[in-house]
């Protein structure tokens, strides 16, 4: 096989590059393709537990991507007329599973004007002994905002007061541009917080479909785990083997992901600076998604539809997040592709001015 | 790497053996571990479509195991107060997903006394324009019974008359001991039948988590597919690559599975013949599960609990299938393990006689 240099610019990892980077070969040719462990390969659960301060392998359940973890949490804890409080906007699947089940979803807005800082007083007014689940997502999709340790601690204390379980989607945790912006995992702060994460974002390995649940409360974790008898039984055994390789070299892979994120953030920041007459934002502090606001009169669906039709550039309209004159951009791409997309976005905005 | 002969007796396939058997090497080291196709790798869908008479790649959606296919069918088509008719007993997940959603589940019994032949007149009485889903599972779990072509055609005609979608779990189709016992796929007979299958049973590859939906009605298929945005997004990309290798040599793998099933069936049959004073059955015609009836006075839970506690042999009590003095045995094991299990089962029954 021809040697290929490790390409930093590539967002998703190639198996060969993972093996080269971590000094491994694919020596799992003898793996039996039988059923895997229903809660995940023990060695993999041990490695995942190292991501947390206070947890061990028994506090981890491996799932088919973080999305399955989110799904089985809501499916286990919610039913018609349950009450969910979610920070909003966020990854829609997080609260839509509950809504589909007939739960009432109350949204606590994170506002661009307030730099997406959670309003703890407002949260205190919204939750009570009838709240069945609180949903957090920091670093946040769609804004790339981080949460301060103090805010997260106060949220956990409030939840603990009413004994409300927390679903904390932390899929972008570890992808902060500065290490000092990293908050603790909710599961380390509160025993009924379930931290959800996986290898798809920070590690650039979505093709492995490896996610997980992490929770100190074993009884709560086991209840959620048992729902998996209906959805997937177990993970792919090859995926678990490759995930083990990845997590044994977690610092290398995290640093790779962080470098691409920072590099792409700088490119996007330059573009926003160059278009500050019509575009404003709260610069993200983590991850590879953010919201941009435009300063002209056009609804966000028309804006985004025109952009994809005329320039083949896909963004999500603010209307998806119940806001206007904004759109979400993803910048977790190969650098050249990102540059090309931003060039086209600039051309599109220039053409709008002329109309 | 040391050469290992292909071991027929082993129920689950080892990756190395799969590659040796099919004349492949693991040349997927360059695969990018990014997101896969949400409906499955196109080449894999083409290969899966070849399992059907009238379907092409567009009629297939690949899922994380057949279990996810079953799950998203019920989750899409059912809601509180929906009405489901299921042949019974069967794999519990098939109807429990609907029951959990609040659907009413009506069970049409397949009886040992009637050699598990479906009673079409009874079905005609049970379904009507209010039926939202009909659930079939042939070759059947737990009995290993097959369905005759004529019966399946009549069932499909009845469903078509009321425009009822069918979930047809065909995970054991292809594992008939005689080819003449193989019924058509329901999806080939009726456009609103969704045939579910995968690589876990016939192909001995559950570790790949590759299942699928097959349906002629593209609009129905797409509705079900879209539910996957909540459960899993896509399949593992390595799994899909290995699945492609397996299906390119499907006859070899099927024949391997069939040979093990027949060999193990013969061992079980000899054991039943040797214990005909206390055990009777309807010999299965496919798959690697069946029900055994015992002729002494003991409830099935006590029987099965004693067996696992005293002999470490796991079986499922008839009570799980709302029947008594019966238990389900699986015989999809390595041959030596099966023989050892049957030896212990014989010892246990002998010891019961002495009490």
List Cβ<8 Å contacts ≥24 apart for A92-96: A92/A320, A93/A67, A93/B229, A93/B230, A94/A70, A94/A135, A94/A137, A94/A167, A94/A169, A95/A135, A96/B230
Q: Over its length of 355 residues, how does chain B's per-residue pLDDT go in tens digits? A: 333 444 445 678 888 888 888 888 877 778 899 999 999 999 999 999 999 999 999 999 999 999 999 999 999 999 999 999 999 999 999 999 999 999 999 999 999 999 999 999 999 999 999 999 999 999 999 999 999 999 999 999 999 999 999 999 999 999 999 999 999 999 999 999 999 999 999 999 999 999 999 999 999 999 999 999 999 999 999 999 999 999 999 999 999 999 999 999 999 999 999 999 999 999 999 999 999 999 999 999 999 999 999 999 999 999 999 999 999 999 998 889 999 999 999 999 999 988 8
- Whether residue A306 sits in one domain with residue A208: no
Q: Is A208 exposed, middle or buried (0-12, 13-18, 19+ CB in 10 A)?
A: buried
What is the count of structural domains for chain B? 2
Q: Give residues with Cβ within 8 angstroms of B283, minimum separation 6.
A: B265, B269, B272, B290
- Whether residue B213 sits in one domain with residue B289: no
With an 8 Å Cβ cutoff, are A29 and B19 in contact? yes
User: What's the gap in Å between the CA of B71 and the closest CA on chain A?
Assistant: 6
Establish how many alpha carbons lie within 13 A of residue A295's alpha carbon, considering only the half-sphere containing its beta carbon.
8
Using one digit for the tens of pLDDT, what is the confidence trace for B13-51? 888 888 888 888 877 778 899 999 999 999 999 999 999
Choose the closest CB to B236 out of A30, A33, A208.
A208
Question: Is position B348 within any domain?
Answer: yes
H or E element that contains A329: strand A326-330
List Cβ<8 Å contacts ≥24 apart for A20-27: A21/A249, A21/A252, A21/A253, A21/A256, A22/A245, A22/A246, A22/A248, A22/A249, A22/A252, A24/A245, A26/B26, A26/B29
Question: Is position A329 within any domain?
Answer: yes
Q: What is the ipTM of this complex?
A: 0.92
At A72, which CATH number?
3.40.640.10
With an 8 Å Cβ cutoff, are A238 and B208 in contact? yes
Using one digit for the tens of pLDDT, what is the confidence trace for A266-314? 999 999 999 999 999 999 999 999 999 999 999 999 999 999 999 999 9
Of B249, B275, B296, which marks where a domain is finished?
B249
Cα→Cα distances B178→B145, B173, B259, Å: 12, 12, 11
Chain A residues with beta carbon closer than 8 angstroms to that of B10: 32
Cα→Cα distances B334→B10, B202, B256, B327, Å: 5, 15, 13, 21
- Whether residue B172 sits in one domain with residue B87: yes
Distance CA A340, CA A329 (A): 13
List Cβ<8 Å contacts ≥24 apart for A277-283: A278/A349, A278/A353, A279/A349, A281/A112, A282/A112, A282/A115, A282/A116, A282/A143, A282/A145
Closest CA to B183 of B213, B217, B151: B151
Choose the closest CB to A33 out of B14, B33, B235.
B14
Question: Is position A204 within any domain?
Answer: yes
- Whether residue B343 sits in one domain with residue B212: no
With an 8 Å Cβ cutoff, are A231 and B68 in contact? yes
Cα→Cα distances B208→A240, B96, B243, B265, Å: 11, 24, 7, 26
User: What's the gap in Å between the CA of B114 and the closest CA on chain A?
Assistant: 30
Nearest CA in chain B to A68: B231
- Whether residue B314 sits in one domain with residue B269: yes
- Whether residue A197 sits in one domain with residue A122: yes
User: Is residue B326 helix, strand or coil?
Assistant: strand
pLDDT confidence tier of residue A26, bands split at 50, 70 and 90:
confident
Q: Is B6 exposed, middle or buried (0-12, 13-18, 19+ CB in 10 A)?
A: middle
Tokens linked to A272: 């926003």
User: Is residue B169 helix, strand or coil?
Assistant: strand
Distance CA B245, CA B44 (A): 9
Of B214, B249, B284, which marks where a domain is finished?
B249
- Whether residue A216 sits in one domain with residue A272: no
Closest CA to A15 of B24, B208, B28: B28
Chain A residues with beta carbon closer than 8 angstroms to that of B30: 1, 14-16
- Whether residue B214 sits in one domain with residue B284: no
Q: For residue B331, what are the domain limits?
A: 252-353
Strands A133-137 and A83-88: parallel
Distance CA A243, CA A208 (A): 7
Tokens linked to B18: 């799969």
Question: Is position B13 within any domain?
Answer: no
At B272, which CATH number?
3.90.1150.10
Distance CA A217, CA B142 (A): 36
- Whether residue A291 sits in one domain with residue A191: no
Question: Is position B202 within any domain?
Answer: yes
Q: Which of B16, B75, B236, B237 to mutate to test the interface with A (most CBs of A within 10 A)?
A: B236
Q: Is A180 exposed, middle or buried (0-12, 13-18, 19+ CB in 10 A)?
A: exposed
Q: Which of B6, B21, B33 to mutate to test the interface with A (most CBs of A within 10 A)?
A: B33
Of A249, A283, A300, which marks where a domain is finished?
A249
- Whether residue A66 sits in one domain with residue A80: yes
Question: Is position A348 within any domain?
Answer: yes
Question: Is position A7 within any domain?
Answer: no
- Whether residue B119 sits in one domain with residue B63: yes
Establish how many alpha carbons lie within 13 A of residue B314's alpha carbon, considering only the half-sphere containing its beta carbon.
4
Nearest CA in chain B to A64: B232
Q: A294-319 in b/e burial notation, b at 16+ Cβ within 10 A?
A: beeeeebeebbeebeeebebebbbbb
Question: Is position A44 within any domain?
Answer: yes
Q: Nearest 5°: phi and psi at B63?
A: -130, 170
- Whether residue B267 sits in one domain with residue B230: no
Q: Is B57 exposed, middle or buried (0-12, 13-18, 19+ CB in 10 A)?
A: middle
pTM value is: 0.94
């Amino acid at each position: 096989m021809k040697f290929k240099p490790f390409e930093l610019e590539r967002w998703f990892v190639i198996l060969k590059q993972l093996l080269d980077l971590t000094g491994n070969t694919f020596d799992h040719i003898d793996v039996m393709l039988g059923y895997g462990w229903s809660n995940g390969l023990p060695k993999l659960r041990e490695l995942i537990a190292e991501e947390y301060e206070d947890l061990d392998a028994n506090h981890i359940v491996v799932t088919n991507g973080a999305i399955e973890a989110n799904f089985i949490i809501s499916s286990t804890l919610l039913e018609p007329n349950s009450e969910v409080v979610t920070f909003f906007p966020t990854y829609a699947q997080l609260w839509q599973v509950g809504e589909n089940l007939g739960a009432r979803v109350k949204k606590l807005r994170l506002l661009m004007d307030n730099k997406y800082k959670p309003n703890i007083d407002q949260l205190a007014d919204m939750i009570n002994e009838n709240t069945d689940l609180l949903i957090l997502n920091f670093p946040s999709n769609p804004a790339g905002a981080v949460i301060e340790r103090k805010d997260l601690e106060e949220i956990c204390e409030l939840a603990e007061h009413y004994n409300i379980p927390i679903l904390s989607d932390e899929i972008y945790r570890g992808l902060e541009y500065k290490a000092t912006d990293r908050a603790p995992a909710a599961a380390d702060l509160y025993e009924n917080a379930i931290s959800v994460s996986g290898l798809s974002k920070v590690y650039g390995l979505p093709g492995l479909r490896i996610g997980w649940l992490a929770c100190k409360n074993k009884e709560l974790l086991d209840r959620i785990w048992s729902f998996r008898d209906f959805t997937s039984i177990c993970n792919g055994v090859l995926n678990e083997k490759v995930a083990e390789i990845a997590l044994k070299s977690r610092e290398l892979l995290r640093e790779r992901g962080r470098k691409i994120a920072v590099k792409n953030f700088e490119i996007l920041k330059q573009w926003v600076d160059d278009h500050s007459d019509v575009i404003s934002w709260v610069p993200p502090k983590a991850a590879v998604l953010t919201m941009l606001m435009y300063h002209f009169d056009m609804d966000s669906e028309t804006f985004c539809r025109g952009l994809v039709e005329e320039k083949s550039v896909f963004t999500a309209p603010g209307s998806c997040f119940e806001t206007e004159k904004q759109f979400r951009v993803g910048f977790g791409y190969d650098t050249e592709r990102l540059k090309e997309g931003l060039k086209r976005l600039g051309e599109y905005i220039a053409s709008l001015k002329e109309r």
